[in-house]
């Protein structure tokens, strides 16, 4: 490895472990922080290409502990809405410049923090009885698009799922299923758009053990670590990296 490659690997390892912990134990919503962090040291498209195979491996590792504990009607609705969102994301990728992606990923990162803090402060309230089927389709559409361009589909999906009154484990299981299916849908256009390269796949091979370690730690953390502690760290990471990406994109 060259010095630059060692630097990228040093940043990628904790980022990938963090993604595994998030997807394995905390509803996947913060897993996209890994792509945000990687986009600081590699081009945004390359960061997306590195992360997708690893996210898919984490999906497979976390499906078994939550098998059939999900809400299938809610998952099906969001996935159906996500498919056209993935198509829109692929069309956007074809015309966007790297700085556009830095701005978009940075903006989504800060929006995630604002939304989460607002929800915890009870500034946003779900309607009584949950959101409608139409709202679920819209949430799925947004989740598909943001998942394609930044692996950040968790927040819009969470808005709908949290309105459904699911318990912690059912919410987690449903989220795991949804993004397993969405990530499969993203794999084909990622391949055709040249997002995967020999270099990204070689790095994936080296990072795979760390991704699986993170997934295993996430399943354990789901039972042991207070959600408030995990997301406090997440908010800090996303705020710093999001601001940095926006500055880089504008400059």
For every residue of 97-153, DSSP letters joined together read -HHHHHHHHHHHHHHHHHHHHHHHTT-S-PPTT---HHHHHHHHHHHHHHHHHHS--
Q: Which domain holds residue 201?
A: 3-250
Q: Which residues contact 250 (CB under 8 A, 6 or more apart)?
A: 99, 103
d(CA 129, CA 127): 6
Pair 159, 139: CB distance under 8 Å? yes
Domain count, the chain: 1
pLDDT by 10s per residue, the chain, length 251: 565 667 777 888 888 888 887 776 665 555 667 777 787 788 888 888 988 998 888 888 878 877 888 889 999 999 999 999 999 999 988 888 878 877 877 787 787 778 767 777 776 565 555 667 888 898 899 889 988 987 777 777 877 887 777 777 788 788 889 989 999 999 999 999 988 988 888 889 999 999 889 888 877 776 776 767 766 766 776 677 778 778 877 87
Helical pair 227-250 and 3-25, crossing angle rounded to 10 deg = 140
Q: Which residues contact 62 (CB under 8 A, 6 or more apart)?
A: 23, 24, 176, 215, 218, 219
């Amino acid at each position: 490895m060259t010095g630059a490659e060692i630097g990228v690997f040093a940043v990628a390892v904790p980022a990938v472990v963090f993604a595994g912990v998030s997807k394995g134990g905390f509803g996947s919503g913060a897993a996209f922080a890994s792509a945000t962090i990687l986009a600081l040291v590699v081009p945004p498209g390359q960061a997306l290409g590195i992360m997708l195979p690893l996210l898919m491996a984490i999906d497979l590792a976390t499906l078994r502990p939550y098998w059939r504990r999900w809400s299938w009607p809610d998952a099906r609705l969001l996935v159906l809405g996500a498919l056209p969102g993935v198509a829109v994301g692929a069309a956007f990728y074809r015309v966007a410049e790297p700085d556009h992606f830095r701005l978009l990923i940075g903006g989504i990162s800060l929006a995630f923090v604002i939304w989460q803090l607002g929800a915890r402060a009870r500034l946003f309230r779900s309607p009584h009885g949950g959101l409608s089927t139409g709202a679920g389709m819209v949430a799925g559409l947004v989740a598909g698009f943001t998942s394609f361009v930044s692996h950040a589909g968790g927040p819009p999906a969470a808005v709908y799922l949290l309105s459904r009154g699911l318990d912690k484990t059912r919410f987690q299981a449903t989220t795991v299923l949804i993004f397993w299916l969405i990530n499969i849908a993203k794999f084909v256009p990622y391949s055709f758009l040249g997002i995967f390269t020999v270099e990204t796949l070689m790095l994936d091979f080296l990072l795979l053990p760390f991704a699986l370690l993170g997934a295993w730690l996430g399943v354990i953390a789901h039972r042991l670590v207070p959600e408030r502690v995990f997301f406090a760290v997440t908010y800090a990471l996303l705020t710093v990296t999001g601001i940095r990406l926006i500055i880089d994109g504008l400059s």
